Structure 1
Amino acid sequence: MQITKEIKFKFVVATRENVENFWTHTATGRSLALYLSPSVEVSLFANNSRGLPEVYNEVIDQCTNDPAILIFAHDDLHILDFHWMHAIFNGLNHFGVVGLAGNKRRVPLQPSWAFIDENFTWDSLSNLSGLVAHGKSFPPEIINNFGPPFEEVKLLDGLLLAAFSEVLIKKDLKFDELFKFHFYDLDFCRQAENKGIKMGTIPLSLIHESRGSLGPEEWRQGYQNYLRKWGQ
């Protein structure tokens, strides 16, 4: 399957910045400004205070009669890969949902795709897949090489998730709006697994400015909601 002019890539991004500042001050906005074309659209939620699942679901619903490759992305991503469209498209020819980093297994009470307990103990690299750099600019402060990409996984990091809208709609897969920011990605992956949707990692070069925020009260409330929903 090849990329054709009929295939549309739609970034879905929520930001606390206003529209102008998104395009000039955020990493994702500045990156996307370089790649805009007739085949690339941005569904931007500026001045946003809603949870990510709520805005993501809004765009999924909008795609019922306007299909696209949906890319749910944080607003602090420096996209360095000039061929990002091909990386995502090729990944979606193998998996129903793709991301940049993930875990090939799940364990009870797992608080993150990468950690196996509340002490934030890293899982073995043999179970992890993907690569993500962190920092504010290029070259990045660090490159986290978790393992070879193009691996089927059970959990994906939510910094960037992509899927054909038709797959999400056909399988009735949406984000649970119980989760505002933390745990929406783990929950989404659990739902995808239950619906028989394969997930996998892809090679795509970017820098994520944030390293996550694990441990604060908002995160712990999300963790408790996640455990109440799934039981483990």
Structure 2
Amino acid sequence: MISVIICSINPQDLEAVTKNITATIGVEHEIISFDNRKEKKGICSVYNEGIKKAKYGIMCFMHEDVTIFTEKWGIHVLSTFDGDNRIGVIGVAGGGYKALAPSGWYCLEFQNPHISFQNIVQGYKRHDKEDVHAFHNPYKEKISEVVCVDGVWFCAKKEIAQLHGFDEKLLYGFHGYDLDFCLSIFGNHKIVVTYDVLMRHESEGNFDKTWLSQILKIHEKWNKVLPLTTAKLSRQEIYFTEKRAIKKQIEQMLEWNYSFAEIHRMLIQSLASKWMPMRLFLKAYLHFFKLKWKS
């Protein structure tokens, strides 16, 4: 049995996804939807309300602009949880490396097969592009263990969701909730990507300054434990990944007109991690000064 929780801002999308879930889930379920057009609550707040209302032991948090193609996907979800009691979260897209440098659920500068594990059809609402079937299963597994999953669709055990919840005090918008939730349970429960549930997501997301500002808050919270990975990496691999990623992040923050103080704060906070050696910090700061001087 599965409780599906949806934060809605579009009645037409909600009606369509409700019909889609009912037709495809294949198990006893309930759909707990919230019309968020008027109150405009943050998604963490909405999801926490959903957790309180849910009556089933497995919870599915999903976007409303999704169409699931897999028949009886609920049976697969339940059997995956039953097959390994260490599993706490199941998603359809996730990353095997969570960088210390501010980033989402995957790090573009991570040059390793663990950069992503996914099976999803990505649509494009903001750009004139054809759908892309994003499939990456480098080890040909049924499920792959990851650090964090994309919030487009993921399932969690109710007791875990109740214990950790979503940090609505920190995150009041619609970004970063998936990353923060996964970081709160990583190491205590397995987080996995399944390749046996296929869906289409209509929107590619909006990774702008609003998104990054939420990511920076998450990093301030979790810097001490980052980076995290499911891959076996040498210190050198981590060092060069973080070097590439933090330089790229500095460039992005300058492009988006973050202040000197904000970039300085991001760099200083990264020192909380044991993986931020002073030489990398100094190189990052020198890169920052060079770019700032040129501008």
TM-score category, normalised to shorter length: 0.7 to 0.9
The alignment status of 1:199 with 2:191, answered yes or no, reads yes
CA distance 1:36–1:150, shift in 2 (3 Å): closer
Instruction: Say if 2:81 is the partner of 1:92.
Output: yes
Once residues 26 and 94 of structure 2 are traced to their aligned partners in structure 1, the CA distance between those partners, rounded to angstroms, is 30
User: Aligned pairs, how many?
Assistant: 208
The root-mean-square deviation of aligned C-alpha atoms, in Å, is 2.3
Question: Aligned partner of 2:183: which letter?
Answer: R
Q: Give SS of 2:166's match.
A: coil
Match of 1:59 among 42, 50, 59: 50
Is 1:23–1:33's contact at 8 Å kept on the other side of the alignment?
no
Instruction: Provide the C-alpha distance between the structure 1 equivalents of 2:191 and 2:27, rounded to a whole number of angstroms.
Output: 28
Residue correspondence of structure 1 range 119-158 to structure 2 within 5 A: 121=109, 124-135=112-123, 141-147=131-137, 148=140, 149-158=142-151
Change in Cα spacing, 1:229 to 1:83, as seen in structure 2 (3 Å) is same
Paired position in structure 2 for 1:161: 154
Of structures 1 and 2, the one with the larger relative CO (CA 8 A, separation 6+) is 1
**Greater Cα shift, 54-63 or 95-104:** 54-63
Q: Which has the higher helix share?
A: 2
Aligned-residue offset at 1:112: 1.2
Q: Does residue 185 of the first structure (1) align with residue 185 of the second (2)?
A: no
Give the structure 1 partner of residue 2 of structure 2.
9
Give 1 or 2 for the bigger CA radius of gyration: 2
Output the CA distance in 2 between the equivalents of 1:143 and 1:36. Answer: 21
Tell me: CA distance 1:23–1:188, structure 2 relative to 1, closer, same or farther (3 Å): closer
Runs of at least 5 residues in structure 2 that lack an aligned partner in the other structure: 125-129, 224-269, 271-295
Q: 1:110 to 1:16 in 2, by over 3 A?
A: same
Query: C-alpha displacement at 1:83, in angstroms?
Result: 2.1
In the alignment, does 2:107 pair up with 1:80? no
Contact 2:9 2:35 in 1 (8 A): yes
Contact 1:156/1:185 (<8 A) preserved: yes
Instruction: Give, in whole Å, the separation in 2 of the partners of 1:45 and 1:13.
Output: 6
The 2-side partners of 1:22 and 1:33 are apart by: 14
Q: Is the 8 A contact 2:145 2:192 kept in 1?
A: yes
Which of 194, 198, 216 matches 1:224? 216
1:45 aligns with 2:34: yes
Residue 3 of structure 1 corresponds to which residue in structure 2? none
Q: CA deviation at 1:168?
A: 2.9
- One-letter amino acid of the counterpart of residue 10, structure 1: S
8 Å CA contact 1:87, 1:202 repeated in 2: no
Q: Percent identity?
A: 23
- Preserved contact between residue 95 and residue 105 of structure 2 (Cα < 8 Å): yes
Letter in 2 for 1:87: H
How far has the Cα of 1:52 moved from its partner? 1.1
